[in-house]
């Protein structure tokens, strides 16, 4: 089954992306050609630039950030309760239909 990821971009547009099982949300958004999720460290949880806000209804399933992720999110200007780094969310069938918003630029 093809998984789906719903992304709201910085300009407010909504996109439905095909999400391959096992890829991270960062990889899916980046591979779809979005420049906004910079992910300058290539997804190694080292830069904090792939900041996304998970939709409230999905946050319990996605879960809170890990420790290292938390350090990077601490200083994120637009940090919110449902903030995560996209490179740390891996797609599974459980997350089919996941909705995220790309956080405003730092």
Partner 1 sequence: MLKNAWYVAGWANEVVQGKPVGRTFLNEPVVLFRQADGSPVALSDLCPHRFAPLHRGKQRGDVIQCGYHGLEFDATGRCVRNPHGKEPPSHAAVRRYPMIERHDLLWIWMGDQTKADMSLIPNQLSFITDHSLAHNRLYLHAKANYLLMVDNLMDVSHALYLHAGSLTQEKMREDYEPEVKLIDGVTTMIIRHRNIQPPPFWASAFPKGTTTLDRQERSWGYAPSIVIHETAYSQPGQPPHTEGGASARGVHLYTPETDSTTHYFYSLSRDYHRDSPEVQERIQREIHRIFSMEDLPMIEAQQRNIGDRDLMSMRPALIPSDRASVLMRRHLASLIAKENAAHG
Q: Report in angstroms how near the CB of residue 25 gets to partner 1 at its nearest.
A: 19
Which residues does residue 32 pair with via DSSP β-bridges, in sequence order? Answer: none
92 φψ region: left (φ > 0), alpha (ψ -120 to 50), beta (else):
beta
Q: Which is nearer to partner 1, 5 or 72 (CB)?
A: 72
By CB under 8 A, which span of 17-25, 42-50, 85-93, 96-104 interacts with partner 1?
A: 42-50
- Look at residues 45, 46, 27 and name the one whose alpha carbon lies nearest to residue 37: 27
Q: Which of 23, 54, 72, 85 binds partner 1 (CB under 8 A)?
A: 72
The structure tokens listed for 86 are 């996209």
- Cα–Cα distance list, 63 to 15, 23, 33, 80 (Å): 23, 17, 26, 14
Q: Which is nearer to partner 1, 19 or 51 (CB)?
A: 51
Q: Could you say whether residue 42 binds partner 1 (CB under 8 A)?
A: yes
Residues that bind partner 1 (CB under 8 A): 38, 40-42, 44-49, 67-68, 71-72, 74-77, 106
């Amino acid at each position: 089954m093809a998984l789906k990821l719903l992304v709201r971009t910085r300009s407010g547009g909504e996109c439905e992306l095909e999400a391959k099982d096992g890829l991270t949300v960062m990889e899916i958004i980046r591979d779809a050609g979005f420049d906004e999720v910079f992910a300058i460290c290539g997804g190694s949880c080292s830069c904090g630039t792939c900041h996304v806000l998970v939709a409230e209804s999905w946050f319990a399933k996605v879960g809170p950030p890990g420790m290292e992720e938390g350090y990077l999110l601490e200083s994120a200007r637009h940090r919110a309760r449902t903030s995560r780094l996209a490179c740390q969310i891996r797609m599974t069938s459980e997350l089919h239909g996941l909705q995220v918003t790309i956080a405003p630029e730092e």
